[in-house]
Amino acid sequence: MEDPVIRIPPYHYIHVLDLNSNVTRVEVGPHTYIRQDHERVVFSPKRMVMVPPRHYCVVLNPVARGPTGAVLLDGAGQAQLRHADLDVRLTQEPFPLFPGEELQQGITPLQVVLADTALRLRALLDFKDEDGNKFVAGDEWLFEGPGTYIPRKEVEVVEILQATIIRHNQAIRLRARKECLDRQGMRRVTGEEWLVKRVGAYLPGVYEEVVDIVDAYVLTDKKALHLRATRTFEDAQGHVRRTGEEWLVTQEQSEAYIPDVFEEVVAEVMVTTLGPRQYCVVLNPVGPNGQPQLGQQRVVKDGTEVTRRAGDRWLARGPLEYVPPAEVTVLERRQAVALADNEGIYVRDIRTGKVRVVTGQTYMLTESEELWEKELPAGVEALLAEARGDTAGQDSGIHSSGPNFGVQERDRTRAVTYQVPHNAAVQVYDYRERRARVVLGPELVVLGPGEQLTVLSLSGGCPKRPHVRRSLCLHLGPDFCADIVAIETADHARLQLQLAYNWHFEVPEDPKALGRLFSVPDFVGDACKALASRVRGAVAAVTFDDFHKNSNRLICSAVFGFDESGRLREHLCFVPNGLVVTSVDIQSVEPVDQRTRDALQRSVQLAIEIATNSQEAAARHEAERLAQEARGRLERQRLLDQAEAERARRELLELEALRSAIFVLPLLGMYHSPLPTWGSYQGLLFAQGSIRPSVPMCPSGVYVGGTRSAGTHRPTGVSLPVGRWGLVGGGDEGPVGLVCDSTLCSAAVESAGAARAEAQARAEAARIEAEAAILQAKLKAEAVAIETVRYELGYGGVK
């Protein structure tokens, strides 16, 4: 339960509500308040509002006071309030807030306005201030410092204005927000602008606003200011300037100039300094009255002036100094054109209209001449541009190209030149003279004013298509071109041939006859059509098998034909343009339809089988022949070896018989025994008579010596100068003894054995040689069969 005794300290207050009358009153301390039963304390003691010096507060819904300052009460004893009203309370004794009052703005210091500062105030209600000035709602005025602003409930602060500092060579540009008087006392209308140039701080008026700060233009003896009037006004010097008028302000008039609000700065004009060899032409010069003389000119120069008649044209050639007067117009500045021997320019006389080409000199155009541009077709321009980069021929000896739009633009006043390649020709046609000339390369062609290069439009591709390649020059060959021809045989087999022709041109010795080289515009297409027609006509008369077997001879005879003696010609000549075709190459033959292709495949396979069987039979026959020859050689060698062995064996037997019959007699007086008959000694030969016998030779090459004297049987001696054996004779019966060395017979036996072994070795070698020949023949037959199979499978091989 609340304490009924409430002690209120000094400068405090409470609100007490009477529950019987429902009226709230204020109790102010220091006081001890005893609450009654029908009363209720709204809040505990609260401190009074204390406003210190130079402060203020704003109270909403303040109480109404009488003339004496006492609070007015209504009939129920409730304090009367000024609802929705404000009360600005300055420094005073502490006061309580009555029931219904609110402190809208707390204790706030008063606003101090400094020097060069002002408050722009606006009246919210009609009122009269302490000085008796009446203000209506919406009025604005300035509270300029220094000072302390005392707020009022009828006035609001719009903004704080600061003074603008104006320095030397500066000004501020002001605009009037509504009709007013400026600080100089001049009346300004709404939107009017003016300048304030006074140095110092300038505080704009209540209806003035600062637009910009304008800096002055510093003028020197080499710089002036070009101005233009935006409206008619009177400037600072008292001159009336009309709208659009322009003038200059120099240093003589002002060293630092600030443009007025109605003046527009066009540019800063620098002084034009002329040297002793210079001049200038001034358009619209200023007259004596200071106004520009529109449409006139004035020449400024340190020298004399030269006058010419109207309409005259002349050329002032250097070196000299020329200053054109104001009445003279310089049409063109010309320089001499240095031309080499292979360079030129087109010059036209403007009086006669004639055009000529000038080459190989340094030329200066006269006053009646001008450069003339030579027009060329777009295709020729593209071909010339390509020729400047690469003049080498392309396929079929034809230098050609399509349009090239990325090439550098040609100087059309320069003479058109074209380098004719080696072994090539170019035709130039003069449309004025209506004649053509042909130039053979290597040569440089310079086109005259009326001359044009002949463009060759040639066929290209396989098969040939017209107008595929374009060229300026005609290569004379030798070269080749290829074409695809569709043919049909007598048995309606359709084939496709790819042919290549070697060609060249026959260049006539007479220069007047060179024009026939260009008599056929598309020599490639015409030649290929003519040759294809001949080939088709020749092939149409033969069957497919005949053409397949004799294609080369048939096509060559169709192209070149035969002479009077029936021999094949070596070349074909086209008389109109001198084109000569020297050879034809069949690069490929392909059937067009599938049935012909299958028949050709079967024919090829059958031919391969026949060739394979024939080669196998030939190889087999050759192997058998070689084997037979080897066996014959072996048998013959065997017989020869047997005969040789028999001879050796016979000799061996003779030697063995001889050895068995030999006996050794003592020399000179040893045992004598008759010898067998002379015929049994086939290996010994004796001479008859008393002379010394010739030296007989046995098969082993042993010499035998002996003597025989007629009428006596006794040997005269034994002479063995070389040999190993000999005879000793006795009486008339012949030799009575034989002297022999045993080593002789052993050598003979060994020699016979070696001969038999050699014969056997030769027989074995002959047999081995025969067997090798038979094996070689078999390997050759197998190699032929393998190549045949490879050809059938498409991996190459011999057809």
pLDDT in tens, 665-701: 343 344 333 444 333 333 333 333 333 333 333 333 3
Structural contact between residues 736 and 713, judged by C-beta atoms closer than 8 angstroms: yes
Strand 111-113 vs strand 435-440: parallel, antiparallel, or unpaired?
Answer: unpaired
Rounded to the nearest 10 degrees, the angle between the axes of helix 594-661 and helix 742-793 is 180
* CA-CA-CA-CA torsion sign (726, 730, 733, 736): negative
Strand 217-218 vs strand 256-257: parallel, antiparallel, or unpaired?
Answer: antiparallel
Distance between CA 530 and CA 521 in Å, rounded? 15
- Residue 398: which pLDDT band, with cuts at 50, 70 and 90? very low
Structural contact between residues 362 and 335, judged by C-beta atoms closer than 8 angstroms: no
In eight-state DSSP terms, residue 715 is -
Q: Check pLDDT > 50 for residue 400.
A: no
Which residue from 457, 583, 474 is spatially nearest to 526, judged by alpha carbons?
A: 457
φ and ψ at residue 495, rounded to 5 degrees: -130, 160
Cα angle: 416, vertex 422, 425; to 5 degrees: 60
CA neighbours closer than 13 Å in the CB half-sphere of residue 716:
13
- Residue 9: which pLDDT band, with cuts at 50, 70 and 90? very high
Rg (CA), the chain: 73
Q: What is the mean pLDDT of residues 301-323?
A: 67
Higher pLDDT, 534 or 603: 534
333-336 long-range Cβ contacts below 8 angstroms, 24+ apart? 334/364, 334/365, 335/364, 336/362, 336/363, 336/364
Question: What are the helix and strand counts (H, E) for the chain?
Answer: 6, 51
Distance between CA 618 and CA 777 in Å, rounded? 10
The region of weakest confidence among 50-59, 580-589, 784-793 is 784-793
CA 340 to chain centre: 35
CB atoms within 10 A of CB 664: 14
Higher pLDDT, 397 or 187: 187
Element (H, E) at 606: helix 594-661
The most confident of the ranges 321-330, 391-400, 556-565, 760-769 is 556-565
Q: Tell me the sheet residues that pair with 161.
A: 118
Q: What average pLDDT is seen over the chain?
A: 80
Q: What is the mean pLDDT of residues 64-87?
A: 88
Which residue from 681, 727, 674, 680 is spatially nearest to 703, judged by alpha carbons?
A: 727
Q: What is the mean pLDDT of residues 476-491?
A: 89
Of all residues in the chain, what percent carry a pLDDT higher than 70?
A: 80
Structure tokens at 511: 């220069």
- Residue 102: which pLDDT band, with cuts at 50, 70 and 90? very high
Higher pLDDT, 270 or 726: 270
Cβ contacts of 686 within 8 Å, gap of 6 or more: 678, 693, 696, 706, 708, 727
Predicted confidence (pLDDT) per residue in 13-47, tens digit: 999 999 988 899 999 989 898 888 898 999 999 99
Q: What is the mean pLDDT of residues 344-371?
A: 90
For the domain spanning 5-109, the CATH number is 2.30.30.560
Q: What CA–CA distances, in Å, run from 260 to 15, 74, 205?
A: 69, 68, 20
Q: Would you state the pLDDT for residue 668?
A: 36
The region of weakest confidence among 228-237, 338-347, 591-600, 629-638 is 591-600
Q: Would you state the pLDDT for residue 607?
A: 80
- Residue 777: which pLDDT band, with cuts at 50, 70 and 90? low
CA 676 to chain centre: 120
- Residue 394: which pLDDT band, with cuts at 50, 70 and 90? very low
Structural contact between residues 345 and 357, judged by C-beta atoms closer than 8 angstroms: yes
Q: Would you state the pLDDT for residue 550?
A: 86
The region of weakest confidence among 478-492, 547-561, 575-589, 700-714 is 700-714
Q: What is the mean pLDDT of residues 309-323?
A: 75
Q: Check pLDDT > 50 for residue 723.
A: no
Reduced to 3 states, what is the DSSP secondary structure of residue 67? coil
Q: Would you state the pLDDT for residue 687?
A: 33
Distance between CA 568 and CA 555 in Å, rounded? 11
The region of weakest confidence among 67-71, 544-548, 565-569, 780-784 is 780-784
Structural contact between residues 48 and 93, judged by C-beta atoms closer than 8 angstroms: no
Q: Check pLDDT > 60 for residue 312.
A: yes
Higher pLDDT, 276 or 182: 182
Q: Would you state the pLDDT for residue 513?
A: 87
Structural contact between residues 196 and 166, judged by C-beta atoms closer than 8 angstroms: yes
In eight-state DSSP terms, residue 410 is P
Q: Check pLDDT > 80 for residue 744.
A: no
CB atoms within 10 A of CB 473: 28
- Residue 636: which pLDDT band, with cuts at 50, 70 and 90? confident
- Residue 372: which pLDDT band, with cuts at 50, 70 and 90? very high
- Residue 48: which pLDDT band, with cuts at 50, 70 and 90? very high
The distance between the two most distant Cα atoms of the chain, rounded to a whole number of Å, is: 229
Of all residues in the chain, what percent carry a pLDDT higher than 90?
A: 29
Q: Would you state the pLDDT for residue 317?
A: 79
Distance between CA 45 and CA 33 in Å, rounded? 11
Q: Would you state the pLDDT for residue 390?
A: 45
Predicted confidence (pLDDT) per residue in 553-607, tens digit: 899 998 888 888 888 888 899 988 889 999 999 888 888 877 777 777 787 788 8
Q: Check pLDDT > 80 for residue 336.
A: yes
Q: Check pLDDT > 70 for residue 746.
A: no
Q: Would you state the pLDDT for residue 719?
A: 40
In eight-state DSSP terms, residue 190 is T
